[in-house]
Amino acid sequence: MRDNPRTAPDIITFTQGCAALGSLAATCFVGPLSDSGHLSALFRIALCLSLTPLLPVCLGWLPEKKRKMGEDEPGLRSVCRCGRSTSCVPAGCGDHAILFDHERCVQQKETVRIAFFVGIVGPLLSLLSAYVPNRIASLSVVASVLAMTLAASYLFLPSRDMANVLAYTIVTRASTPSLRSALQYFYTAGETCLPEDAGPHFTYTYYITFNGLIRECFVILAIFIYQYRMTSWSYRSVLSITLLLASFGNFVDVIL
């Protein structure tokens, strides 16, 4: 995409289209298998599919030059399978040693700190929202942590553009709450949880497969609209339109 900017929209369309087709295929069997009680089969299928990205890596299909330790790579450190970390390849490790770019990590230590902090904050906030009964206290802590993250990004990140991207990501995610995970239990709850007239009691085939097929059809339609109408737009225009449409879509949860 850097060398051939004109191909960028085509690459995005291709990747998003493949993801939509994969999701379309998955929704066809997830619902029926769930209703029939074959949950273990779903986990086995998901495990096999999750391992498929390792295939091009193991076969060397990625067009990337393998970095090796030497005079032209002074910042690399090798971590042998035994767990030792040295500046040279330990005996017995050979080409199978795991290499760590220590010099670049030191040069970008502020970025590494922010990434580590954000990675730790996510699980902590999830635990906090799940186990703290006082919602006001939980919301206050979450807002404080987000404010600290934004302040730290502007103080420690070497580029203001990186800080702006991080701030944009945090603000957009925090300002678009979703009730779909909670509503899923309401839609599919049985009569033991909800009386017959208190819930829709959807089957998984209807809720996952039929709804998923309709959703993925609209996704594919949106990909075609992007490819044939919006590839010449600026990135800011495309992002603004998609964010507005996503915001209007979230109002459905509020109405329900």
Residue pLDDT, tens place only, 105-119: 888 777 777 777 777
| 176 neighbors 248 (Cβ within 8 angstroms) | no
pLDDT-based confidence at 90, cuts 50/70/90?
A: very low
Q: What is the largest CA-CA distance in the chain?
A: 74
Beta-carbon contacts of residue 158 (< 8 Å; ≥ 6 apart): 108, 110, 111
Residue pLDDT, tens place only, 204-248: 898 889 988 898 888 889 888 888 888 888 878 888 888 788 777
Chain-centre distance of CA 9, in angstroms? Answer: 20
Q: 11 in helix, strand or coil?
A: helix
For 9: left if phi > 0, alpha if psi spans -120 to 50, otherwise beta; the answer is: alpha
Average pLDDT over every residue of 132-156: 79
pLDDT for the residue numbered 195:
77
**Helical pair 8-35 and 211-225, crossing angle rounded to 10 deg:** 170
